[in-house]
């Protein structure tokens, strides 16, 4: 149970502060809501990703939990310590998604940004064409996964990309021939313009019947 409305009606703020610091003997951690981001001045996470305050606090608790050495950022080993992730066939790739190329650390802002892709879609969205599509829209979710497949970042999933992805998932469990035939078939099915690679549009088309919002969303229970 979480309570964030700190202002109580009749109690002076100083008394409350005293209560919190002395009697509760804990520092109420404020998550970095307003963070100086490298490229923008002050970004309000709440506005950018439309995640509720309660969930931001949960994610921040989780971030602190993962950050075992209290450095304020996460490194690949911290992710590697998560048991469920360690047995996931694409575990390494998932971890890699959090680290931009060349970086070895993830701060809380980036952590939330990547996870924000997995928010369930909002039911009511303002139909303004000028506002950018939210990060958790169907298109953006698909783009996110597409970028994971498209390793060489040429905007297309080529045979090599798909081979690498599948090899990563299955390692020793399939032979080269089996892998080749799988890749051939998959590209055959999805490739509509005959360029032997899957573009984002073809990717989107082949998955148009899948309920992305259900299958690629994390819902908080509380």
Partner 1 sequence: MEAAWDIASVLFQVWLSIVVGLIMLPAMFGVSLGFTDLYIKVLVKTLEWATRRIQRGQNEQPTLPSQSANGIIEKDDGSMEEEIGELRRSHPKSLAGVDFTLCDVFYFWKKGIENIVEDQVTQRFTSEELVSWNLLTRTNNNFCYISVRVTIMWGLGVFIRYCILLPLRITLAAIGLSWLVIGTTLVGFLPNSNVKNSLSDLVHITCYRICARGLSATIRYHNKENRPQKGGICVANHTSPIDIVILANDGCYAMVGQVHGGLMGVIQRSMVRSCPHVWFERSEMKDRTTVANRLKDHIADKTKLPILIFPEGTCINNTSVMMFKKGSFEIGGTIYPVAIKYDPQFGDAFWNSAKYNMVSYILRMMTSWAIVCNVWYLPPMSQQNGEDAVQFANRVKSAIANQGGLVDLSWDGGLKRAKVKESYKEEQQKMYSSMIVGTDCHENSVGPT
Contact residues toward partner 1 (CB under 8 A) are: 1-6, 8, 11, 16, 19-20, 24-26, 28, 57-59, 61-62, 65, 79, 81-91, 94, 115, 118, 145, 148-149, 165-166, 169-174, 178, 181-182, 184-186, 190, 198, 203, 206-207, 209-210, 212, 215-222
> Minimum CB separation from partner 1 for residue 131, in Å?
26
> Minimum CB separation from partner 1 for residue 88, in Å?
5
Residue among 164, 156, 143, 146 nearest 193 (CA):
156
Vertex 196: Cα angle to 194 and 198 (nearest 5): 95
Nearer to partner 1, 28 or 124 (CB): 28
> Minimum CB separation from partner 1 for residue 101, in Å?
20
Joined tokens for residue 38: 């490298």
Nearer to partner 1, 45 or 166 (CB): 166
Nearer to partner 1, 72 or 89 (CB): 89
Joined tokens for residue 6: 């700190």
> Minimum CB separation from partner 1 for residue 128, in Å?
29
> Minimum CB separation from partner 1 for residue 102, in Å?
22
Nearer to partner 1, 36 or 155 (CB): 155
> Minimum CB separation from partner 1 for residue 134, in Å?
17
| DSSP-based three-state secondary structure for 208 | coil
| DSSP-based three-state secondary structure for 15 | helix
| DSSP-based three-state secondary structure for 123 | coil
Nearer to partner 1, 44 or 88 (CB): 88
Instruction: Provide the CB-side half-sphere exposure for 160 (13 A, CA).
Output: 5
- Dihedral over Cα of 158, 138, 62, 26: its sign: positive
Nearer to partner 1, 39 or 209 (CB): 209
d(CA 134, CA 50): 8
Q: Enumerate the β-bridge partners of residue 198.
A: 157
């Amino acid at each position: 149970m979480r309570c964030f409305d700190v202002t109580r009606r009749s109690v002076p703020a100083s008394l409350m502060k005293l209560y919190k610091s002395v009697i509760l003997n804990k520092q109420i951690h404020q998550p970095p809501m307003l963070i100086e981001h490298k490229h923008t001045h002050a970004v309000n996470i709440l506005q950018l990703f439309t995640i509720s305050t309660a969930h931001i606090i949960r994610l921040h608790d989780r971030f602190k939990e993962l950050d075992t050495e209290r450095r304020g950022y996460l490194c690949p080993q911290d992710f590697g310590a998560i048991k469920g992730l360690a047995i996931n066939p694409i575990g390494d790739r998932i971890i890699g998604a959090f680290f931009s190329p060349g970086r070895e650390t993830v701060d809380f802002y980036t952590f939330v940004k990547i996870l924000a892709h997995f928010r369930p879609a909002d039911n009511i969205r303002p139909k303004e064409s000028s506002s950018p599509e939210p990060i958790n829209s169907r298109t953006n979710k698909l783009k996110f996964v597409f970028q994971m497949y498209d390793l060489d970042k040429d905007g297309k999933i080529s045979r090599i990309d798909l081979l690498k992805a599948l090899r990563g998932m299955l390692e020793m469990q399939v032979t080269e021939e089996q892998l080749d035939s799988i890749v051939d078939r998959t590209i055959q099915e999805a490739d509509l313009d005959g360029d032997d690679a899957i573009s984002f549009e073809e990717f989107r088309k082949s998955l148009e019947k899948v309920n992305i919002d259900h299958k690629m969303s994390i819902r908080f229970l509380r």
